[in-house]
Structure 1
Amino acid sequence: LPRFTENILFSMNWDDIIYVSLLVSSIGFGHLYVHLPVGSARRWVGTCVGLIIMTVVSGIHTLHPLLVSVINLLILQFVSKRWCHVVSLVVSFSYLLMFRLCSYIGLPDPPGHTNAIQMMMTLKLVGVCFEVHDTWQLKKDIKKSTEVLATSPPATNSDSKTTKPEDQVETTDGTELRKRDVKSDEGETVTRSKPAPKSPEELHEDLQLRLKYEAVEPSALDVMHYVFNYCGILTGPYYKYRVYSDMVEGVSGGKQLVTWWWCMQRLRYLPLYGVLFLLSSHFFPLQFAESTTIFSDYNIMYRIAYMTPVFFTFRMRLYSGFVLSECVCIMAGLGAYPSDSKPKPGKGPTLYKQLESSDDRSNESYNYETVHNIDEYGADFTATVREGMRCWNMTVQYWLATNIYKRMAAPKPLKEAVTMLVSAYWHGMYTGYYLSLLTVPFILMIEDYYARLIRRKLAEKGTRIYDWVTWFLKMQWFAYMGMAFLLLRVDTTLTYWRSIGFVGHGLILVLHAFAQFVNLVYGKAQFKLKKASETAFGKDSRLKVKSIPELEKQVKEERRLKLLAAAAKKEE
């Protein structure tokens, strides 16, 4: 047993040891950092510690983050706020390409940890430019709203006291919803709710709240403090400039907040992840998937099965790293907001009215959802690839959704494909990233199609069975794509995928073909049903039938009513 334990421990990657050591040290330092005075002390100490960490792992390559930061400062200074976010996105991602091609232009290759730092630096710098642009746009919207209010007639007292419609209800978070009846695909009447329309005064108030809690106007020095702060400098999580500003100015958090308690809550399962990672990586090493032995001595079923423990090792490694990264932010007090403000990963609070209260809050009334980067349970046990991906690297997912996906005016499948392409580009230049992430949009289309075609037509028991089947497929697809993400090179990835018959892509094609067949048969059946219904009841009939047995039942009932009517007429 001692020899076995020694072999496992000494098989750890040296980069992982450095990474874990720096994260643990940063967690410990956070206990001192959170007690620093707000303002300049937190800014300068956080920046100095971040620069020390960067210099330790990067050495002379620290010049890359410094250079790209200076470039973005020039963009913020000299480019119009209307376009600064677009220019920053193009320039920063172009520099990321040059950074990864250093060896091709005569520069020394940066170490792996510097690549991780450069990745997070790129998101932060582009993100702060988007925040500056959005602040500019928000001020324009407020100006227009003010003009609308000035030209519209003032609301009378009787208007303000008007009772709400009976179909309008108020939720626990203060959002007013209006009920409405809609027709489902099956012809059934379903009651749904949507936000009630707001008056111009309410819209103006919402804009003012957004300006108060979202607006940023950072100086050049503020931006440097933000991007070089030690929280998240290695591998995240990503957080907005406004979240950082709230932390250093003492806006987030409170006197009753106990950071170490929250840190311990997050660390509960870390020992389990660490032990499982060491065991799994020892018994199922990734290197074996690249060896000739697995192709010559083992059959296709073994190679398909081997993907699952390799992906399990990958998950345990990421879970451990993400949890430690979150704890660095937690101990520093970064991202602590009241729970009733509904914070979201990367963004911060979303219900700003809840922040208006100045009452003292208990420790338990806060949460760190803003820096929550991985939902381990959701990643493992949600039923679909779409839901599972939302639980991975959630703060970066927020960045991609806010700054890429939602900014495009295009069909949903195209937006998903472009977002995955940007994600693959951000991860690196290896072909494996593109082969892996660009498979995702096709899987999402299949999942959405089957959800419309089959799942929503099932009863409760059928839905549970359907979800178990899709969960199994999700984990197999994740393992299949994970091999490309880990093997990285195009030759090793395609060699392994070819040895298992490209089963992941083949499954997509089979499911798509089956869905088209079912849709064709179902469409013909619905057409025949409609014709039979029109024959039995006439084209103007409002009767809706779902199946042939139901149609026969309605025909018999119609005949019975006609016979009764004829008998009654005869008696008269």
Structure 2
Amino acid sequence: MLLEGSRCCSRFCFVIAFGYLTLCQVSRVYLFDYGQYSADFTGPMMIITQKITSLAFEIHDGMARKEEHLTPVQKSLAVRTMPSLLEYLSYNCNFMGILAGPLYTYKDYIAFIEGRTLHVKCAEVNGKGNGRCGKSEPSPVSAVLCKLLVCGISLSFHLTVTKVFPVAYNIDENFVTTASLTSRVLYLYISLLAARPKYYFAWNLADAINNAAGFGFNGYDGKGNARWDLISNLNIVNIEFATSFKMFIDNWNIQTALWFKRVCYDRCLYHPTIATFMLSAMWHGVYPGYCMTFFTGIPMTLAARAIRNNFRFYFIKLPAVKLFYDVITWIATMIAISYTVVPFVLLSVEPSLKFYSSWYYCLHIVSLLVILVLPMKSRQKENEQNHSKQKRLEVENVLTINSYSAMNNNLNQIPRPS
């Protein structure tokens, strides 16, 4: 960052951090123990890679780009001065998030260290407080205990149910040949449902650790209750009842999804969805199952977006029809998600291909057909339309102001009666 300056630091930091992370992941998989996780030192490297690249882009936005070229989110997160060595190391290596994160922005972390969190979060609420901001920062005890309870339930569920419904049983030859389609679909859903709570456990525990240190306060809700979800990484209810692929992704590993959006999706001019999924596959590791999952997720996401854009507005007018639509889309989303992430759990090429071939690659084929048949609006065209609309509104505002100014001048020139 110091050698290259703010103009080029984002590119160099991105390449160097990702290159080092990839070397760590290759050594873990192919030099140590394939799939056994006994040398899983890459977890902290993944989090630090996020922090390094996030800070590099925020410095680039704040010190090398013009204000009018930034999005509202980039403006709010832009770092205007180069951090000191102590600030840099504190952000990347503080004890609260060194093992499992989660990721958080540099400005939020510095506000916490300097004791400005309460003031900053209260100022974000319509520019003023909500009646509670004059008090000291609330206690995180209740939030921490609640998240620890979720950790206990998640871990217990995972350790018990996973043994009964292992994901690998989805490719058992006897099960594939004898079970009905309904049984296979139900088992696929339940086995992947049982695999998710281990992530619920890790992310809630990491969130609770930060909250216990006082980090994570996010202001007050409409009822005046303190919110400790500033760096929360998941919303379990929205995950398990997601009615779209996007809804699931937006509530799963939230901080990482925001990182992908900020460093890739918002900055990629062409095919941002494909680029984001490719980056996600690289970041997660070099296991073939990771690549298969994320490359399967590309057509799934594009197809789900196409269906939603072309058909959803027909079903949202009446509450009963919308409820029916939500149930159908929930079932479809759960099946699609489970189908997509099986290689993420199996890791290897052979069992992953065996699973997809047992399903005759049906969802791959359906998603590709949907993409080919249904019209889709490109990201570039959407950005151009939004930009032209914004320019048109700015011109209209200027013309309106000028017309009012001219009217006032004309009125002022009218002689007033004595």
Instruction: Say yes or no: does 1:245 pair with 2:104.
Output: no
Structure-1 residue corresponding to 2:140: 259
Structure-1 residue corresponding to 2:7: 82
Contact 2:165–2:191, Cα closer than 8 Å, also in 1: yes
Distance 1:375 1:327 in 2: 14
Which amino acid in the other structure matches residue 280 of structure 2?
S
Instruction: Say yes or no: does 1:223 pair with 2:95.
Output: no
Give 1:295 deviation, angstroms.
Answer: 4.6
Contact 1:280–1:312, Cα closer than 8 Å, also in 2: no
1:527-542 matches, within 5 Å, as: none
One of 315, 326, 340 as aligned partner of 1:481: 340
Distance 2:277 2:67 in 1: 31
Instruction: Say yes or no: does 1:472 pair with 2:399.
Output: no
Distance 2:76 2:360 in 1: 52
Aligned length: 353
Which amino acid in the other structure matches residue 167 of structure 2?
L
Instruction: Say yes or no: does 1:141 pair with 2:67.
Output: yes
Distance 1:107 1:276 in 2: 30
Distance 2:342 2:31 in 1: 32
Query: 1:405-449: per-residue Cα shift (whole Å, max 9, x none)?
Result: 101122xxx101100110111001112112111222322222232
Contact 1:280–1:309, Cα closer than 8 Å, also in 2: no
Which amino acid in the other structure matches residue 10 of structure 2?
H
Structure-2 residue corresponding to 1:381: 241
Contact 1:420–1:437, Cα closer than 8 Å, also in 2: yes
SS at match of 2:336: helix
Structure-2 residue corresponding to 1:433: 290
Distance 1:103 1:391 in 2: 29
Distance 1:322 1:107 in 2: 26
Structure-1 residue corresponding to 2:267: 407
SS at match of 2:252: coil
Judged with a 3 Å threshold, the aligned counterparts in structure 2 of structure 1 residues 293 and 232 are, in CA distance, closer, same or farther, namely farther
Judged with a 3 Å threshold, the aligned counterparts in structure 2 of structure 1 residues 393 and 298 are, in CA distance, closer, same or farther, namely same
Judged with a 3 Å threshold, the aligned counterparts in structure 2 of structure 1 residues 282 and 210 are, in CA distance, closer, same or farther, namely closer
One of 288, 304, 307 as aligned partner of 1:450: 307
Distance 2:305 2:171 in 1: 34
Which amino acid in the other structure matches residue 117 of structure 1?
P
1:36-185 matches, within 5 Å, as: 76-102=1-27, 111-137=38-64, 140-141=66-67
Distance 1:313 1:283 in 2: 9
Contact 1:300–1:499, Cα closer than 8 Å, also in 2: no
Q: Which moved more, 1:284-293 or 1:380-389?
A: 284-293
Which amino acid in the other structure matches residue 469 of structure 1?
I
Judged with a 3 Å threshold, the aligned counterparts in structure 2 of structure 1 residues 331 and 215 are, in CA distance, closer, same or farther, namely farther
Query: 1:291-333: per-residue Cα shift (whole Å, max 9, x none)?
Result: 5554566566544432212211121221122111110111111
Give 1:127 deviation, angstroms.
Answer: 1.4
Give 1:450 deviation, angstroms.
Answer: 2.1
Q: Which has the larger radius of gyration?
A: 1
Contact 2:50–2:103, Cα closer than 8 Å, also in 1: yes
Instruction: Say yes or no: does 1:272 pair with 2:131.
Output: no
* Runs of at least 5 residues in structure 1 that lack an aligned partner in the other structure: 1-75, 145-202, 343-361, 517-572
Distance 2:20 2:47 in 1: 13
Instruction: Say yes or no: does 1:367 pair with 2:227.
Output: yes
Query: 1:201-248: per-residue Cα shift (whole Å, max 9, x none)?
Result: xx9xx99x959x854531122211211112222222101122221122
Instruction: Say yes or no: does 1:395 pair with 2:255.
Output: yes
Alignment RMSD: 3.2
Give 1:84 deviation, angstroms.
Answer: 0.2
Distance 1:403 1:317 in 2: 27
In the superposition, the TM-score normalised over structure 2's length comes to 0.75
Q: Which moved more, 1:113-122 or 1:441-450?
A: 441-450
Distance 1:97 1:366 in 2: 40
Which amino acid in the other structure matches residue 282 of structure 2?
Y
Q: Which moved more, 1:224-233 or 1:485-494?
A: 224-233
* Runs of at least 5 residues in structure 2 that lack an aligned partner in the other structure: 119-134, 376-418
Judged with a 3 Å threshold, the aligned counterparts in structure 2 of structure 1 residues 295 and 443 are, in CA distance, closer, same or farther, namely closer
Judged with a 3 Å threshold, the aligned counterparts in structure 2 of structure 1 residues 304 and 106 are, in CA distance, closer, same or farther, namely closer
Structure-2 residue corresponding to 1:502: 361
In the superposition, the TM-score normalised over structure 1's length comes to 0.56
Contact 1:303–1:500, Cα closer than 8 Å, also in 2: no
SS at match of 2:6: coil
Give 1:100 deviation, angstroms.
Answer: 2.0
Which amino acid in the other structure matches residue 321 of structure 1?
A
Judged with a 3 Å threshold, the aligned counterparts in structure 2 of structure 1 residues 276 and 129 are, in CA distance, closer, same or farther, namely same
Contact 2:63–2:79, Cα closer than 8 Å, also in 1: no
Distance 1:93 1:390 in 2: 23
Instruction: Say yes or no: does 1:419 pair with 2:276.
Output: yes
Contact 1:384–1:470, Cα closer than 8 Å, also in 2: yes
Query: 1:374-430: per-residue Cα shift (whole Å, max 9, x none)?
Result: 0101111121111111000000111110111101122xxx10110011011100111
Contact 1:262–1:330, Cα closer than 8 Å, also in 2: yes
SS at match of 2:216: coil
Judged with a 3 Å threshold, the aligned counterparts in structure 2 of structure 1 residues 514 and 141 are, in CA distance, closer, same or farther, namely closer
Structure-1 residue corresponding to 2:213: 332
Judged with a 3 Å threshold, the aligned counterparts in structure 2 of structure 1 residues 225 and 486 are, in CA distance, closer, same or farther, namely same
Contact 1:102–1:108, Cα closer than 8 Å, also in 2: no
Judged with a 3 Å threshold, the aligned counterparts in structure 2 of structure 1 residues 103 and 375 are, in CA distance, closer, same or farther, namely closer
One of 192, 202, 220 as aligned partner of 1:321: 202
Which amino acid in the other structure matches residue 422 of structure 1?
L
Distance 2:30 2:351 in 1: 26
Which amino acid in the other structure matches residue 3 of structure 2?
F
Judged with a 3 Å threshold, the aligned counterparts in structure 2 of structure 1 residues 107 and 467 are, in CA distance, closer, same or farther, namely closer
SS at match of 1:339: coil
Q: Which moved more, 1:264-273 or 1:475-484?
A: 264-273
Distance 1:406 1:513 in 2: 25
Judged with a 3 Å threshold, the aligned counterparts in structure 2 of structure 1 residues 372 and 514 are, in CA distance, closer, same or farther, namely same
Distance 2:178 2:152 in 1: 35
Distance 2:29 2:361 in 1: 33
Contact 2:59–2:79, Cα closer than 8 Å, also in 1: no
Contact 1:216–1:242, Cα closer than 8 Å, also in 2: no
Distance 1:112 1:374 in 2: 26
Structure-1 residue corresponding to 2:101: 236
